[in-house]
Chain A
């Protein structure tokens, strides 16, 4: 096989999930009434924001060879802290800052801090104490959600001030600001993963921890930072979620872990670690929300929605397995 042909096939296989996305969008456009319009596509990108930002961190941890089940609860905690401090109704304390716009960076920083703190706790137990990532982050998934209920007393905070709500309502070039934020996050972290030593090391550590240790890479630091990043990004996702829903309820974000995992796997990240690229993950998130949106538009009977979603996720992952076989045959 010529190198050029080999490169073309590798490129196509690497980006199969984008191909799938395009096919699915075309099929939906042709079959689902009112699907084909700019606003729907903008909605898909906007709705992908929360799970998308969460999935970036999850993907980084999975590529590094670990796993983080706590991202959903971490996002909920960041959302609740944001709501609790700055919302004006419900349990919100309605803290106001002078000048008003200051609330934007301050609340974002707090949400990121909250997320990073959970990530550090996960990293400490997994990397320092050598505990199983599955158990540690499952525990976090539970206790962090418990903390959400504890600090909120099961109540909700509503009505964030306009200075912060603008993130959820503003448009740039017809595309909601939220959509731009998720695109921006993916571009930034795709760049970090592909072009910086840190990103390179995450992949290498996930592929062969021993080899990176022997090569003098501080592999424990890479693993730890991956957890912190996952927490931090979950914090950002929670902050965006609070803005989108203009507050926070105790059950905010419930079920997102499933979507984030599905998107990461559909996007071509191997749960074994070391394999996967963030642009693929973004395609996975978009694919998932295209399906969500199509189901919303079709107005399918309530009970079937979950069944259809599950079947579609399975089909997508099946296609990904097929891709591996195809690669073995062709290369």
Chain B
């Protein structure tokens, strides 16, 4: 193992919604330049976990450690500031605004005149045009409102957005749900491209083939615990399916023991 601390480390993360324990003590690590696929059945706790990492939810207990420093994200803005980018399953686009506005949402290029920030539309448009061209995405006009674009085009904008902004860690929640075969292939290429820049990627998917195609490591979440944490090249789809469904095959990895060790304690009740 390298001497550097992992990019992101989760320690005994649990999350209660009232009496329901969505996460019951999750431990995991993500390293820079690594793609981790997060798998699990519906309701296993994947989305809750993603929301906690991206600052959308706060854990009931446990620690988030980023590059060796414990962090507590109160909002997506804080997670973003720390370098965590998220592409959500339900797209985070404002369809009432144009492509450029969506691409730069919250990070507009401005120039100050008499202290007043003024949007630099031309500069932003040039950046978007280049980013989309590099990725091979074609959109008729960057000044078209997103509502006039197809589902695939919208998803492509989201993906291009994370490729462009990158940060340190990218979370992708079912990113290829609306994409065709060719676009999915291009999307997987984008992930490789990002990883090559030394960025960590967490991809949530329920398509086994995609996980094996792109991920270095697979982490399985089951009933709010880590049910398996294995290298992709040391496992098979059958084994992973067993982990997801709670089968009894061996080779499930270290996650099993840890999963039983720290039940959720629920220091803070969440009202959400």
Contacts and interface: CB of A to CB of B under 8 A. Distances in A.
A: contact size bracket:
20 to 34
B236 interface: no
A275 B86 contact: no
Describe A's contact surface by its main secondary structure.
helix
Nearest to B95: A207
Contact of B77 (A197, A218, A274): A218
Given A196-B119, A204-B105, A216-B77, A211 B96 contact: no
A215 interface: yes
Interface stretch (B10-18, B110-118, B225-233): B110-118
Describe B's contact surface by its main secondary structure.
loop
A245 interface: no
B86 to A, nearest CB: 7
Interface in A145-166: none
Contacts of A197: 108, 110, 117, 119
A211 B140 contact: no
B58 to A, nearest CB: 15
Most buried by B among A211, A213, A218, A275: A211
Given A203-B96, A207-B94, A213 B76 contact: yes
A211 B110 CA distance: 21
A214 interface: yes
A216 B81 contact: yes
Interface string A258-300: 0000000000000000110000000000000000000000000
A59 B157 CA distance: 29
A208 interface: yes
B81 A196 contact: no
Interface in A224-277: 274-275
Contact of A208 (B77, B86, B95, B148): B95
Contact of B75 (A196, A204, A213, A331): A213
A214 B56 contact: yes
A112 B256 CA distance: 64
A217 interface: yes
Most buried by A among B94, B107, B140: B94
Shortest 6 CB-CB distances between A and B: which pairs? Answer: A207-B96, A216-B77, A207-B94, A274-B96, A215-B106, A211-B92
Given A3-B141, A212-B94, A214-B86, 5 more contacts: A6-B141, A208-B92, A216-B77, A217-B105, A331-B148
Interface of A: 3, 6-7, 195-197, 200, 203-204, 206-208, 210-218, 274-275, 331
17 contacts: A3-B140, A196-B117, A196-B119, A197-B108, A197-B117, A197-B119, A204-B101, A208-B94, A208-B96, A212-B105, A214-B86, A214-B88, A215-B76, A215-B80, A216-B81, A216-B106, A217-B106
